[in-house]
Structure 1
């Protein structure tokens, strides 16, 4: 199956993105974007997310997550869009993940991300794409 052969690349940026991202074409459609917000701190934090498409950045949404809690957020596009990146911010961290490797899909797909307030390996915020496009 083609979708199992696709490896999604992800690049995390600590403060914004530079340069242009080329749009792509695909026969498949993005069904939904799932983001696991993980607040490993003992205080509540507000996470901000925005999906960038080839037409521009969609509205930013904010999610307050209690301390020590994981919360799953699902973003469902209203129309057929070509995703370019997911942007996120929490406290003084702002970053983004480019969405790569979905331009040759001929079937619908979903995107999954993890957004940690403090990642276990380095205790800093991290936004990363999961290398799986199954819905």
Structure 2
């Protein structure tokens, strides 16, 4: 008899959570990732980028950027996935930016990043998330 009460109690608890599970998932989805590649050097550089999602890492993209030029690159996941990180490399620098705070968005969104070959403050390569923006 006691075992039956425990099983009934456990079933009631699990059933109670069923209605709450929807609030832990996002109704919005990632539409695109915009990356501003900034080559502040006096010679051309090749930037390499990829987006990591919960489903895995997308194909790496390479972009040749002339000296003292900025170029905006758009990456578009081909399915509804949650982003995990943006990875990039230029010359001997490799870095990543973890993507946080987008799991509970109720509308479609885009992400924007900067990737510098030499940041103005310390003249070293840097990556950073600029904003979570509505598309």
Shorter-chain TM band: 0.7 to 0.9
CA RMSD of aligned residues (A): 1.1
State the shift of 1:133 in Å. Answer: 1.8
Q: How does 1:1-135 map to 2 (within 5 A)?
A: 25-135=25-135
Larger radius of gyration: 2
Question: Which blocks of at least 5 consecutive residues in structure 1 are unaligned?
Answer: 1-23
Residues 132 and 55 of structure 1, relative CA distance in 2, 3 Å threshold: closer
For residues 23-50 of structure 1, the C-alpha deviation after alignment (integer angstroms, 9 at most, x for no partner) is x842101010000000000100000000
Residues 25 and 96 of structure 1, relative CA distance in 2, 3 Å threshold: farther
Number of aligned positions between the proteins: 112
Question: Which blocks of at least 5 consecutive residues in structure 2 are unaligned?
Answer: 1-23
State the shift of 1:134 in Å. Answer: 2.3
State the shift of 1:85 in Å. Answer: 0.3
Higher relative contact order (CA 8 A, sep 6+): 1
TM-score (norm: length of structure 2): 0.80
Structure ranking higher in helix proportion: 2
Runs of 4+ residues deviating >3 angstroms: none
TM-score (norm: length of structure 1): 0.80
